Structure 1
Amino acid sequence: MIKFEWKGVFPAVTTKFTDNDELDFDAFDINIQAQLDAGVDGFILGGSLGEASTLTEDEKFALLKHTLKFVDGQVPVILNIAEQSTKNAVYIAKKAYECGADGLMLLPPMRYKASDDETVAYFVAIAESTPLPIMIYNNPVDYKIDITLDMFEQLSLYDNIQAIKESTRDVINITRLINRFGDRFKIFTGVDPLAAESLMMGAIGWVAGLVDAFPKETVAIYRLIKAGRYTEAIAINRWFLPLLELDIHPKLVQYIKLAEVATKIGTETVRAPRLPLTGTEREQVLNIIHSALAIRPELPEGSWGKLNEVTA
């Protein structure tokens, strides 16, 4: 089985497009390099923020291969699977392994609201088809299927199902999972505005969104909390919160891409049916971003970067 450490900040990266609606690898590389420089611990491709539902199969694997080459083993590269059929999900898992992916993140079946037994069977079929380490993404708010503790009990029998992206928006669930399973699953918080609280309650990682525009601040909050330097982390988080709340809106892709433009590490181009922001909505989001940039805090020395470790 392929091994790496499920721990730290894993950006759910945005996919960059040219004005001709093709993959923009040049813009993508600028953002990925900024994330590496800030000290992130892994990348997740093809998630909701990555506009996965609009990507062709060829584009997903082109993006995976390009990222693996660019990152060159510095951190793990995870491919998200969000498919309608078990057959196609298994195919994607096998091909991701052949391409060199370090792991997978799995959403429940798309479109069809599968029962508990069907959802578990879907995950098990994928797990049995690949040696890759797997993170299960539990987001009943957006995807309408709740992966319960009893379902995770069944999934715990499969060694390569190793991590959980906890996005129920119920911070108490962190404690429920730890009480039930101990350290069997590595728990990542997946909701930006609740990340600090979730990390303090025992989440070991953060699948982050606003990290795409603010990588240093995201890494700093994570490292400071894990070092027990809560006062410093809370101060940064309070500044960050209006930005973090952009992550829980249906137009999170447009919002976060606009923030990437403001911090000069991204582009605003999205793929239809998404459209760039206009009018009052655009002004409101820009006001949040520019207000935050005007008072952007100084970060504690050593709280971000490739080689730095924060100590208490």
Structure 2
Amino acid sequence: MARYSGIWPVAPTPFHDDGRVDEDGMRRVLDCMVDQDVDGICILANFSEQFLISDEERETLTRLSLEHVAGRVPVIVTISHFSTPIAVERARRAKDQGAAMVMMMPPYHGALLKGTAEQTFQQFAEVGQVGIPIMVQDAPLSGVDLPVPLLVRMAREIEEVRLFKIECAQAAAKLRTLIAEGGDAIEGPFDGEEAITLMADLDAGATGTMTSAMIPDQIKPVLTHHAAGRRQEALDAYARVLPAVNHENRQCGFRSAKEAMVEGGVIRSAFCRHPIAPLHPDTRAQLIELLQPLDPVVLRWGK
């Protein structure tokens, strides 16, 4: 197995119905994920609603999560910010508190403030000076183009840039080219987007995936079978979860994991802060309908 492999899902951030962070719920979320045999956990990412969380809450959630996981699995802390000094400081705090690595998107703010290729390189280089492994998040949300030559340069010239979460359009093609051109410098090629393109990405050379926390126990067999060369078993496992993953990816987004965790008694509320609207009851009902035949841990963990 590659050094960085397996399934490293994003932990949702639970809130009480009044919008306060549910700290006990966060601990239960982390325990539920560990109990699904995940290979790592990412916190404060987009699927954690990082854009709806205050700086003070970030500090609390980082400390709480790292203390509670307590080394049972590696924890990735997302540190994305347009400001390079803020990203560096976030990386430093994550390292000091025991994070295994950090994840970051290129610098952007809104639709028009986007870092150039050189500015992106410089930001990652400065964060790299902190001395903690970095996962580059190539996500459409940033609107910043990260061409393969730039990613390869970063991997070769910035010691701590080791992992790449590729979740842009036609991710498999980009992963294949990145691995071919970057060689051994690409230590952790991962896919994202809830694993909706997982088989194609694994065939392209991905060694891991960063999904939501909805059903990692059901998605992990795809990676396990694929790594062992059991292609038909991998295809069968992928086909089994794909309807639920597609519903999550196209209809629910980050709200899906929370709704599944409420259904299974992991957390009490699926509340998302304004301006995020709750799932329509029919959309939620179909999500649960698609999950129940899979018998995932999340639907029975708290019952």
> Shorter-chain TM-score: which interval?
0.7 to 0.9
Residues 108 and 144, structure 2, Cα contact 8 Å, conserved in 1: no
Residues 189 and 208, structure 2, Cα contact 8 Å, conserved in 1: yes
What is the CA distance between 1:169 and its match in structure 2? Answer: 2.8
Residues 225 and 231, structure 2, Cα contact 8 Å, conserved in 1: yes
Q: Taking structure 1 as reference, are residues 131 and 250 closer, same or farther at Cα in structure 2, changes over 3 Å only? A: farther
Question: What amino acid does structure 1 have at the position aligned with 2:82?
Answer: Q
Listed as ranges, the matches of 1:1-312 within 5 Å are 5-111=3-109, 112-128=113-129, 130-139=130-139, 141-155=140-154, 156-170=156-170, 171-185=172-186, 186-191=188-193, 192-209=195-212, 212-249=213-250, 251-266=252-267, 267-278=269-280, 282-293=281-292, 295-296=293-294
Partners in 1 of 2:216 and 2:34 — Cα distance?
9
Residues 10 and 211, structure 2, Cα contact 8 Å, conserved in 1: yes
Q: Which runs of 5+ in 2 are unaligned?
A: 298-303
What is the CA distance between 1:297 and its match in structure 2? Answer: 6.8
Residues 239 and 292, structure 1, Cα contact 8 Å, conserved in 2: no
Q: Taking structure 1 as reference, are residues 19 and 285 closer, same or farther at Cα in structure 2, changes over 3 Å only? A: closer
What is the CA distance between 1:298 and its match in structure 2? Answer: 9.5
Question: What amino acid does structure 2 have at the position aligned with 1:100?
Answer: G
Residues 135 and 162, structure 2, Cα contact 8 Å, conserved in 1: yes
TM-score, L = length of structure 2:
0.88
Partner of 1:303: none
Residues 248 and 287, structure 2, Cα contact 8 Å, conserved in 1: no
What is the CA distance between 1:73 and its match in structure 2? Answer: 0.9
**Cα deviation 1:112-161 (Å, max 9, x = unaligned):** 22221222122112112x1111100011x222112111112321211111
**Cα deviation 1:83-110 (Å, max 9, x = unaligned):** 1211211121122222222210011113
Partners in 1 of 2:283 and 2:251 — Cα distance?
15
Q: Which runs of 5+ in 1 are unaligned?
A: 300-312
Residues 134 and 163, structure 1, Cα contact 8 Å, conserved in 2: yes
What is the CA distance between 1:292 and its match in structure 2? Answer: 3.8
Partners in 2 of 1:145 and 1:102 — Cα distance?
26
Partner of 1:309: none
Residues 152 and 178, structure 2, Cα contact 8 Å, conserved in 1: no
Report percent identity of matched pairs: 23
TM-score, L = length of structure 1:
0.85
Task: Give the match's secondary structure for 2:93.
Answer: helix
Question: What amino acid does structure 1 have at the position aligned with 2:79?
Answer: I
Task: Give the match's secondary structure for 1:187.
Answer: strand
Partner of 2:301: none
Question: What amino acid does structure 2 have at the position aligned with 1:163?
Answer: L
Question: What amino acid does structure 2 have at the position aligned with 1:291?
Answer: L
Partner of 1:304: none
Partners in 2 of 1:216 and 1:195 — Cα distance?
15
Partners in 2 of 1:110 and 1:286 — Cα distance?
36
Question: What amino acid does structure 2 have at the position aligned with 1:169?
Answer: A
Residues 10 and 42, structure 2, Cα contact 8 Å, conserved in 1: yes
Q: Taking structure 1 as reference, are residues 102 and 245 closer, same or farther at Cα in structure 2, changes over 3 Å only? A: same
Report the count of equivalent residues: 288
Question: What amino acid does structure 2 have at the position aligned with 1:154?
Answer: R
What is the CA distance between 1:82 and its match in structure 2? Answer: 1.9
Question: What amino acid does structure 2 have at the position aligned with 1:31?
Answer: V
